[in-house]
Amino acid sequence: MVQIKSELKIQKFYDVIYKLNQLKINVVENITFSVLHFAVYPFTAEDPTLKEYCRLPSLAVVKLLLDYGGQVNVNYIDPSRHSILHLISETKDDENNNIYEIVSIIRLLNEVGCHWDVRNEEDQTPVECAQSDRIRSFMKSQMKVLSSKCTTARLIKISKLNYKPYFSATLHRFIELH
């Protein structure tokens, strides 16, 4: 009997994580983050209330959201076109940040298929946004060779081709990502 109760509690916990992961959080006016964005954003850690309960960015929180959050879109971009990799790259290399935690998060995001070629509003990739030489160097070492799909999407985007009448909504989103 105890086994069943603990399994039910675990399932309820996973259900809460799933529901939490579906939320979008208004960080500031007109800036909406996914919970995963919030978990990796280095400036989240500066919130005094959060500091009391957990240290962010957190590999454990990122793993929890990816493992039990349902269909997590690791390539979600906020209104400023920042991907999760853009945000984690903004972490400064100082005594307040565990560089090993940061590189472990980057490695995990790479393994689950984050796009390295997404450009933000300033037309920068995550590597170009890196605030730390060590993080930039590590990110470069983790980058995969761009697929022909990504290269083609980027070419369509910078060429300003009128592709919308010819492609599906799914391809529209993929091209816009690049």
- The tokens for 56 are 């962010």
pLDDT reported for residue 14: 67
Cβ contact 82:41 at 8 Å: no
Residues whose CB falls within 8 Å of the CB of residue 158, separated by 6 or more in sequence, listed in order: none
pLDDT reported for residue 1: 40
pLDDT reported for residue 128: 93
DSSP 23-78: -EEEEETTEEEEHHHHHH-GGGGG-HHHHHH--SS-HHHHHHHHHHSSS--TT---
State CA 109 to chain mean position distance. Answer: 7
pLDDT reported for residue 107: 92
Residue 27 clears pLDDT 60, i.e. is over it = no
pLDDT reported for residue 36: 78
pLDDT reported for residue 115: 86
Alpha carbon distance 17, 73 (integer Å): 15
Pick the CATH number of 2-144 from 3.40.640.10, 3.20.20.370, 2.60.120.330, 1.25.40.20: 1.25.40.20
pTM above 0.95, yes or no: no
What does the chain come to in residues?
178
Q: What is the sign, positive or negative, of the torsion defined by CA atoms of 156, 162, 163, 164? A: positive
Residue type, 12: K
pLDDT reported for residue 2: 44
pLDDT tens, 90-145? 888 765 667 888 889 999 998 888 888 888 889 898 999 998 898 899 988 887 76
